[in-house]
Amino acid sequence: MNETVRVAIYARVSTEEQAEFGYSIDAQLETLRKYCELYNRVIVGEYVDRGVSGKSIEGRYELQQLLRDAQENKFDLVLVWKFNRMARKNIDLLHIVELLQKNNVAFRSFSEDFDTTTSMGKFALQMMGAVGELERNTIVDNVKMGHKQRARTGKHNGKVPLGYRSVKIDARGRESKIVIIEEEAALVRNIFEQYAAGHGLKAIANDLNHRGHKTKSGNPFSTCSIRDIIDNPMFVGKIRYNRYENWAERRRKGKTSELILVDGHHPAIITDEVWEKVQLLRKKKATMPKKRFEGEYLLTGLIRCPECGAAMTASLTVNRAKDGTKIVRMYYSCGRFRSQGSSVCHANSVRKDEAEKAVTERIQEAVTKPEILKKVVRSVNEHRSGRIKPLQDELAGVQVRIDNLEEKKRKYLGLYEMDEIDRDLFAGRLNDLNKELDTELTRRSKLQLELRDDQADPISYELVRSLVSRFDALLQRSPFPQRKTLLHLIVKRITLDDRKRVGNIELAFNEETEKHFLSVAPSAEQQAEGAFPLSGKAPLLKKTLTIFI
């Protein structure tokens, strides 16, 4: 008498398969029930995962329960309508079958009828699993290809961010367009304008949450959600796609070099000018030192240690007065000393308030005392003219070396044509000469560019006065976050003398800082509190201007 075979039925269908291919859980179950009835097998359990993808075991709770019940010997056979109902990936399928076999449970597919307890059955399972995985990967690749093509033609994929919604424009719902939700768009503009005005991610999120605003998904704003908004080029009318591959498995480690960034068909919410300004600030703030202590430290990372030249960072001391009150003193101290100890450098601390006062007063003096600024301008122009002769001499030397190398190449070519030199020796020597020549040609191009800049018209006093005076005006009129942003944008370094007093302040003005911060402020001036307030137009810079005051 044959023993009764206890059967566990497993069925699964994803939402996409149900919609696109008409797969049905009920149809799978009905087919498998009739199969068991035909072969006199007893169904002891039905495990059904509805609307779940088969790409992994995670989230498939019925499958997880089935595997636990297999360990408790509740059935002898697991039956599925098709083997890819159990798993889409071959490695997952084989792993599940192995777990079942360890517990003396057989696995059988109704559509691909083979016995996994035999060697040929296992081989057939592996082959069918590989085919199934290939089929899935082909579908995934086709979908990705379609998404990439949509992106290249300026169409958006996936969910739309805050400020937009997708509207169907045909009866079948296959075509849609992106339109602006004006109430949300106003919030997006405010976020960009606040950041352009110098406010940080946390301050913006805090402000929005206090005003009761929510993200697109209905959650409070966070620094991450603010960052995602100001980094998203969709708001300036662009489509960005393919930054990451296999996000579900690899997350940010899957970053690709094949980024798609094109003009989109959707309307922009912010202007190019505001976008460029925000991206400039994002890039600069990424290199600014992180805050270590409470307090408004303006010059962190700008002041240089007089002993080792490292950036000086915020530090403080806390003492008790005789009456028990706490006395807090703030300093800038050598960053290498703080991180590596006294064997590398010393604290070389300077009082915070004294250093900041000295810097701001030095900038104001350059504006209020024309003789100081004229001296600065004269020094800049003398430095530029003094560089010309050494550069010309170096360029002449480079040209001599280039001519010599070219002559050597001609000689070796003549010897080779006369069959007076071995071919391999000729090829090796020619390769060495070409490498040397490339180096010298690159050096010549660099020197020619430097000479062209230094031989340009002298820097005018009016240009320098305009830039420095506007910089000073902004420092005086802006609150702390904006002042710190401005200083880190324009001040390259501050050196101390041997008595630990402020020595030179190196300022570097360029086209971007002039355009975004020393010229007319964008719409943020009216929209965001604390925006860089300026009127009029500053002279346009064509290259970086560095001065010492």
202-250 pLDDT, tens digit per residue, is 888 888 888 888 888 888 888 888 988 998 888 988 888 766 565 455 5
Q: Please, what's the b/e burial string for 93-114 (b: 16 or more CB within 10 A of its CB; e: otherwise)?
A: bbebbeebeeeebbbbbbebeb
Q: What is the mean pLDDT of the segment spanning 357-361?
A: 87
Determine contact, residues 58/20, Cβ cutoff 8 Å: no
Place of tokens 């057989």: 106
Cβ neighbours for 338, distance < 8 A, ≥ 6 positions apart: 313, 315, 347
d(Cα 31, Cα 169) in Å, to the nearest integer?
Answer: 41
pLDDT(462) > 80: no
Report which DSSP code applies to 179.
E
Out of 124-133, 179-188, 408-417, 463-472, give the one with best mean pLDDT.
179-188
Strand order through the sheet with 77-80: 42-50, 6-13, 77-80, 106-109
Determine contact, residues 25/13, Cβ cutoff 8 Å: yes
Q: Residue 7: how many CB atoms within 10 A of its CB?
A: 23
Of the CA atoms within 13 Å of residue 364, those in its CB half-sphere come to 9
Pick from 517, 484, 548: which is nearest to 352 by CA? 484
Place of tokens 């076999």: 101
Q: What is the mean pLDDT of the segment spanning 276-302?
A: 73
If residue 49 lies in a helix (H) or strand (E), which one and from where to where? strand 42-50
Pick from 116, 139, 179, 145: which is nearest to 53 by CA? 139
Give the pLDDT confidence score for residue 8 in this predicted structure. Answer: 93
Can you list the alpha helix ranges (DSSP code H) found in 61-118?
Answer: 61-71, 90-102
d(Cα 485, Cα 501) in Å, to the nearest integer?
Answer: 23
pLDDT digits (tens, 9 = 90+) for 513-523: 666 665 544 43
Q: What is the band of 388 on the pLDDT scale with cuts at 50, 70, 90?
A: confident
- Structural tokens at position 81: 């309508």
Place of tokens 């008790």: 320
CA dist list (Å): 266 to 177, 184, 544: 7, 15, 36
d(Cα 402, Cα 443) in Å, to the nearest integer?
Answer: 10
**Radius of gyration for the alpha carbons in the chain, expressed in angstroms and rounded:** 35
* Burial of 255 from C-beta contacts in 10 A (0-12 / 13-18 / 19+): exposed
Cβ neighbours for 384, distance < 8 A, ≥ 6 positions apart: 454, 458, 459
pLDDT digits (tens, 9 = 90+) for 100-121: 888 888 888 888 766 666 666 6
Strand pairing category for 164-168 and 176-180:
antiparallel
SS3 labels along 291-336 = CCCCCCCCCCCCEECCCCCCEEEEEEEEEECCCCCEEEEEEEEEHH
Angle at 79 between CA 78 and CA 81, to 5 degrees: 150
Spans of all domains in the chain = 6-144, 164-284, 288-348, 381-454, 461-548
Determine contact, residues 454/250, Cβ cutoff 8 Å: no
Give the pLDDT confidence score for residue 150 in this predicted structure. Answer: 65
Determine contact, residues 337/345, Cβ cutoff 8 Å: yes
pLDDT(43) > 90: yes
d(Cα 247, Cα 79) in Å, to the nearest integer?
Answer: 33
Give the pLDDT confidence score for residue 192 in this predicted structure. Answer: 92
Determine contact, residues 510/516, Cβ cutoff 8 Å: no
Which residues is 9 bridged to in the sheet?
46, 79
Give the pLDDT confidence score for residue 217 in this predicted structure. Answer: 83
Q: Domain 164-284, what fold?
A: Hect, E3 ligase catalytic domain fold (3.90.1750)
Q: State the distance between the two ends of the chain, measured CA to CA, in whole angstroms.
A: 104
Average pLDDT, the chain: 77
Give the pLDDT confidence score for residue 135 in this predicted structure. Answer: 63
Looking at 3.40.50.1390, 1.25.40.90, 3.30.70.20, 2.40.110.20, the CATH number of the domain 6-144 comes to 3.40.50.1390
pLDDT digits (tens, 9 = 90+) for 492-507: 888 888 888 888 888 7
Out of 108-122, 349-363, 471-485, give the one with best mean pLDDT.
349-363
Q: Residue 223: how many CB atoms within 10 A of its CB?
A: 14
Q: What phi and psi, each to the nearest 5 degrees, are found at residue 304?
A: -105, 140
Give the pLDDT confidence score for residue 257 in this predicted structure. Answer: 60
Q: What is the band of 7 on the pLDDT scale with cuts at 50, 70, 90?
A: very high
d(Cα 517, Cα 510) in Å, to the nearest integer?
Answer: 11
pLDDT digits (tens, 9 = 90+) for 190-205: 999 888 887 888 888 8
d(Cα 243, Cα 260) in Å, to the nearest integer?
Answer: 8
d(Cα 505, Cα 356) in Å, to the nearest integer?
Answer: 12
Residue ranges with strand state E in 445-520: 491-496, 502-509
Pick from 56, 60, 93: which is nearest to 78 by CA? 93
d(Cα 15, Cα 428) in Å, to the nearest integer?
Answer: 64
Place of tokens 């005003």: 211
If residue 238 lies in a helix (H) or strand (E), which one and from where to where? strand 238-241
